[in-house]
Amino acid sequence: MLPLRKQVRLADVKGELRDGDLLLFRRRGLISIAGRGVHSHAAKVAWWGDEPFCVEVREWFGGRAVTLASQVERCPGRIDLFRANPGNRWPEYDAAAATRYMRLLAGCDYGYAAVIEAALLHLPITRMCVTADVEDRSVSRRPPFCSQACAMADRLAGGVDPAPYLADRVTEPADLARSPFYQYQFTFAGE
């Protein structure tokens, strides 16, 4: 059972959404089962004209941009919105640049190899022998998975590392949910 959250209709909060806000999807899947939390997918909000979009790197699709309304309709009660940089605690953060970075990922492949590598770190034997990479030494040339893309957008383009003690390539949606760089606001109910 998922914890109770503040449920809102997209139409009622549309004006509160900002470029760069984090969208975390709650559902059962490989990432949430093997991971460290209830979230299995991460995306960002990006405004196009008067319409908020969900920009993401998603399995089977790769990088894409779809209306946020279409995702709320598809996943009612399962999309949590987290405010990026609550209270402007990181004044150097550039939400517009992070959003542009996510838009540029549209059309990229999904990072299946990267997500498998991150998941393998949870195996009991692996956990005893290998520690998670904490340094972002370089940008991987492999396609990213969802939360890796969001972390890269905020760190490389936005100027703030949302998980400073964890490399982007092993950052999971649950790691972003626990980051002080994001603050839970509400969950989108069905329209």
Q: What is the pLDDT of residues 31-66, one digit of tens each?
A: 444 556 789 999 999 999 999 999 999 888 899 999
Q: pLDDT at position 32, please?
A: 42
Q: What is the 3-state secondary structure (H, E, C) of 101-153?
A: HHHHCCCCCCCHHHHHHHHHCCCHHHHHHCCCCCCCCCCCCCCCCHHHHHHHH
In Å, what is the CA distance from 164 to each residue of 7, 39, 123, 161?
30, 20, 23, 5
In Å, what is the CA distance from 101 to each residue of 57, 97, 125, 163, 191?
12, 6, 36, 18, 30
Whether this prediction's pTM lies above 0.95 is answered by no
Alpha carbon distance 143, 116 (integer Å): 12
Q: pLDDT at position 127, please?
A: 47
All domains in the chain, ordered by first residue: 7-188 (3.90.1720.10)
Task: Kindly give, in sequence order, each residue whose CB lies less than 8 Å from that of residue 182, ignoring residues fewer than 6 positions away.
Answer: 22, 82, 83, 84, 86, 162, 176
Instruction: Show the CA angle centred on residue 144, arms to residues 172 and 157, nearest 5°.
Output: 90
**Strand locations in the chain (E):** 7-8, 22-26, 39-48, 51-58, 62-67, 79-84, 182-188
Higher-pLDDT residue of 121 and 75 is 75
Kindly report, residue by residue over 94-117, the tens digit of the pLDDT.
999 999 999 999 998 886 666 666
